[in-house]
């Protein structure tokens, strides 16, 4: 049977806004985070403490943290931030953040393009980062990108994804988010990948899935993962998003589309769809383009 409740891990302010051409003013970002929390999202990934030149859209991470300092100190809703290395972690700790995410690649090419490190070298960068975070009592999530396919390398072997995932768990990550960065995965592939993690003895209850909707498969893939026992789903309000270092990536699975499906299945998320849709419509106004989410469009016509 399906679980009664799942966790939606909202990535709009980070994965969504990192790929917008418009640089959104910090006050708008702060309001976006506040509205998402008010809509009942239980986790909101807020920004990235990466090298500013690499993702100019999120170069204001420290200012954003100051704007939402009350939410950070309140601590009821985790506000994770991406940190690639010790420098990024340091910057996040300075702002009192208690949840960080490292982001590894399952392929050599994307590791080089996204992190300026080879596949093996990325672990040398993460190892002291995770160790320091854990010493500071900070929770560490780990992403694996290019779990299904890579724009430069094509198909990505499942055993390689499992190997990279295992190495990230071994470093001390509490949760692993399996990313279909360019959205090429299909439900059978999702099922096979999750089965391979289970067969390798890795805990399915500590896996999350992170789908991009490039080929319109994100929701079907989420359903396959739900059936396979996954209970944490990454999604982006209004379907914003992409990755600046993977040209073929479009937006994430829209949070609204996911919520509509879950609630239809009788699976609770704690999210108030109406508040969320009005948030996405408000953000679409700030960005000057309509949300690509089908549910946002349908309810706006409603």
Which residues are known to be catalytic?
243
Residue whose CB is nearest to ligand HMG in the complex, by number: 179
Q: How far is the CB of 222 from Mg ion (least distance, A)?
A: 14
Q: In angstroms, what is the minimal distance from the CB of 243 to Mg ion?
A: 5
* Residue 212 β-bridge partners: 252
Stretch 180-239 residues interacting with ligand HMG (CB under 6 A):
181, 210
Q: Which of residues 104-123 bind ligand HMG (CB under 6 A)?
A: 114-116
Contact mark string toward ligand HMG, 233..272, x via CB under 6 A: ----------x-x---------------------------
Q: Does 56 bind ligand HMG (CB under 6 A)?
A: no
Please report, for residues 81, 123, 173, 211, the alpha-carbon distance to residue 134 in angstroms, rounded to integers and kept in the order given.
15, 16, 9, 28
15 contacts ligand HMG (rule: CB under 6 A)? yes
Concatenated DSSP letters of 220-251: HHHHHHHHTT--EEEEBGGG---BTTBTT--P
CA distance 42 to 78: 7
Residue 9, interface with ligand HMG (CB under 6 A)? no
Count Cβ atoms within 10 A of the Cβ of residue 1 and give its class: 0-12 exposed, 13-18 middle, 19 or more buried.
exposed
Contact footprint for Mg ion (CB under 5 A): 15
The rounded Cα 207 to chain-centroid distance in angstroms is 12
Structure tokens belonging to residue 5: 């409740």
CA distances from 259 to 41, 73, 131, 138 (A): 11, 28, 35, 29
80: tokens are 């994770």
Stretch that binds ligand HMG, among 29-37, 83-91, 151-159, 255-263 (CB under 6 A): 83-91
Radius of gyration of the chain (CA): 18
Q: Which is nearer to ligand HMG, 54 or 223 (CB)?
A: 54
Which residue, 15 or 213, has its beta carbon nearer to ligand HMG?
Answer: 15
Site size toward ligand HMG, by CB under 6 A: 25
**Least distance from C-beta 110 to Mg ion, angstroms?**
12
Using CB under 6 A, pick the residue from 33, 36, 37, 55 that binds ligand HMG: 55
List the structure tokens of 185: 């995965």
Closest distance of CB 65 from ligand HMG, Å: 13
Nearest in space to 81 (alpha carbons), one of 93, 73, 69, 66: 93
Binding residues for ligand HMG, rule: CB under 6 A, are 15, 18, 48-51, 54-55, 82, 84-85, 87-88, 91, 103, 114-116, 143, 145, 179, 181, 210, 243, 245
């Amino acid at each position: 049977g399906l679980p009664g409740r799942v966790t939606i891990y909202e990535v709009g302010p980070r994965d969504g806004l990192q790929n917008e051409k418009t640089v959104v003013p910090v006050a708008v970002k702060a309001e976006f985070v506040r509205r998402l929390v008010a809509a009942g999202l239980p986790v909101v990934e807020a920004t990235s403490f990466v090298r500013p030149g690499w993702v100019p859209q999120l170069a204001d991470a420290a200012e954003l943290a100051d704007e939402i300092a009350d939410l950070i100190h309140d601590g009821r809703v985790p506000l994770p931030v991406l940190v690639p290395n010790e420098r990024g972690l340091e910057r996040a700790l300075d702002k009192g953040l208690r949840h960080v995410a490292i982001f590894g690649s399952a392929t050599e090419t994307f590791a080089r393009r996204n992190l300026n490190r080879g596949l093996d070298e990325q672990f040398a960068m993460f190892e002291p980062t995770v160790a320091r975070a854990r010493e500071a009592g900070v929770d560490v999530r780990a992403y694996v990108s290019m779990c299904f396919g890579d724009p430069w390398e094509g198909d990505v072997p499942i055993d390689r994804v499992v190997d990279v995932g295992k190495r990230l768990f071994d470093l001390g990550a509490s949760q692993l988010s399996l990313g279909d960065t360019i959205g090429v995965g299909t439900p059978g592939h999702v099922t096979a990948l999750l089965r391979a993690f289970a067969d390798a003895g890795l805990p399915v209850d500590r896996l999350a899935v992170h789908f991009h909707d490039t080929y319109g498969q994100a929701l079907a893939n989420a359903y396959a993962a739900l059936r396979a026992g996954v209970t944490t789903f990454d999604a982006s309000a209004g379907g914003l998003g992409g990755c600046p270092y993977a040209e073929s990536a479009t937006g994430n699975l829209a949070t609204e589309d996911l919520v509509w499906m879950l609630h239809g299945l009788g699976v609770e998320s704690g999210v108030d769809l109406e508040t969320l849709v009005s948030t996405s419509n408000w953000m679409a106004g700030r960005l000057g383009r309509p949300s690509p989410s089908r549910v946002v469009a349908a309810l706006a016509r409603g």
